[in-house]
Amino acid sequence: MILCANPRLQYLAHKGEIDAALMRVLERGWYILGEEVKALESEFAAYVGVEYGIGVGSGTEGLHLALKACEIGVGDEVITVSHTAVATVAAIEQAGATPVLVDIEPDFFTMDSRKIACAITPKTKAIIPVHLYGQAADLDPILELARTYELRVIEDCSQAHGATYKGKRVGSYGDMGCFSFYPTKNLGALGDGGMVVTDQPEFSRRLRLLREYGWAERYVSHFAGGNSRLDEIQAAILRVKLHYLDEDNAVRARIASMYNDKLIGCDMVRPTCRRETNHVYHLYVVRAQRRDALKGHLKQRGIAALVHYPVPIHLQPAYQGRLTGVDQLLETERAAQEVLSLPIYPELDEADLETVIKVVRTFV
């Protein structure tokens, strides 16, 4: 079976260094918020191009705590998209706020900035653009609207580690940027993990308190926080893999280029790259009118293509009929019927890549 993503192969590619990092943590005997987390926070913040990194338990928790750090909660509205992992909306509701959904751009699958202004109300407090599939949302108009209406911008960078927009890495534009280290991400742990990055010292201070019960000193809560800590083992693994992130992203780009070249003439729409951005291809997503048939054709021949995402959040059972701003999400609903993610990961060998291309071409 050719998998859509294969984190096991990434572990094997760096096995010696990862095993050594694990042993370093085990032998040190400090497993929560120690030297590995502190070092990763500094290294990853520097990589993104900001001052502060705060390790948390997951990307979802990163978004949740970022909203809490902005003092956004009950009675407040947060604008985002429905074509995303459910985590984006779940985090808004976890903070007590109300998600307000706008449509996406058909070419890039990211937030359509032209739809934002009409969604802003006196209750709006923040915008969460999602950098989907490895490509940046169009940040300039989003940031301009945020300045005009005095809104916070929290970037959801969970699928875009290393992606750039007009020369700077995503996560460095908004008030905060939130990253997931789920195993299949471009920078993935061997379990859950996440990080919030920011240039603002007050947000950094609040996030560090929020992730651990509001403690400024141990066992003394200065305000109500929770438990969302990146552990030492995952941090040590991520420090190893961070060294290879740009190299791995370049391999992903080469694989995407091969797909682009060899799927010319097929009855599908290949990914479009936004001008002045660097797409890191967390996923290689095509649009096909006969998507489900193509997916089945690939599965029968041992290729696991996946759909990201088959049901928009506003149409899922948990959310249907109760989210606002869902009456004009035509591009979102169209994308859910057509998108298909083909296998892409740095360890995908050329023979398997050629097999995927051949099977796609025989279907079309």
pLDDT of amino acid 322: 85
What confidence tens digit (pLDDT) does each residue in 147-158 have?
999 999 999 999
28: Cα within 13 Å, side-chain hemisphere: 16
Q: Please, what's the largest Cα pairwise distance for the chain?
A: 64
pLDDT of amino acid 220: 86
| CB atoms near residue 328 (< 10 Å) | 13
Instruction: Assess whether the region 7-102+109-242 and the region 245-363 belong to the same CATH fold.
Output: no
Q: What is the average pLDDT value for the chain, to the nearest integer?
A: 96
What confidence tens digit (pLDDT) does each residue in 77-111 have?
999 999 999 999 999 999 999 999 999 999 999 99
What confidence tens digit (pLDDT) does each residue in 252-280 have?
999 999 999 999 999 999 999 999 999 99
Whole-model pTM above 0.95? yes
Residue with tokens 């649009």: 287
Closest CA to 162 of 199, 183, 131, 138: 131
d(CA 159, CA 341): 13
pLDDT of amino acid 323: 84
DSSP-assigned states of every residue in 173-232: SSSEEEEE--TTSSS--SS--EEEEES-HHHHHHHHHHTBTTEEETTEESS---B---BH
d(CA 87, CA 93): 10
Instruction: Evaluate if residue 287 carries a pLDDT over 80.
Output: yes
* Homologous superfamily in CATH for domain 245-363: Aspartate Aminotransferase, domain 1 (3.90.1150.10)
DSSP 2: B
pLDDT tier at 364 (50, 70, 90 boundaries)? low
pLDDT tier at 328 (50, 70, 90 boundaries)? confident
Both tokens of residue 346? 């740095």
DSSP-assigned states of every residue in 229-278: --BHHHHHHHHHHHTTHHHHHHHHHHHHHHHHHHTTTSSSBPP-PPTTEE
What confidence tens digit (pLDDT) does each residue in 102-131 have?
999 999 999 999 999 999 999 999 999 999
Alpha carbon of 7 to those of 104, 340, 356: distances in Å? Answer: 29, 20, 19
- The CATH fold assigned to 7-102+109-242 is Aspartate Aminotransferase; domain 2 (3.40.640)
In the chain, % of residues over pLDDT 70: 99
Closest CA to 60 of 195, 163, 167, 173: 195
What confidence tens digit (pLDDT) does each residue in 199-252 have?
999 999 999 999 998 888 888 888 788 999 999 999 999 999 999 999 999 999
Residue 95 in contact with residue 72, Cβ under 8 Å?
yes
DSSP 324: B
Which 3 state secondary structure label does DSSP give 56? strand
What confidence tens digit (pLDDT) does each residue in 44-75 have?
999 999 999 999 999 999 999 999 999 999 99
Residue type, 299: K
Where residue 15 falls (left for φ over 0; alpha for ψ -120 to 50; beta otherwise) is: alpha
Domain borders along the chain are 7-102+109-242, 245-363
CA Rg value for the chain: 20
Dihedral pair phi/psi, residue 138, rounded to 5°: -80, 95
Which 3 state secondary structure label does DSSP give 96? coil
Instruction: Evaluate if residue 36 carries a pLDDT over 90.
Output: yes
d(CA 324, CA 34): 42
**For the chain, percent helix, then strand, then coil, each to nearest 5?**
40, 20, 40
Instruction: Evaluate if residue 326 carries a pLDDT over 80.
Output: no
Which 3 state secondary structure label does DSSP give 154? strand
d(CA 112, CA 129): 9
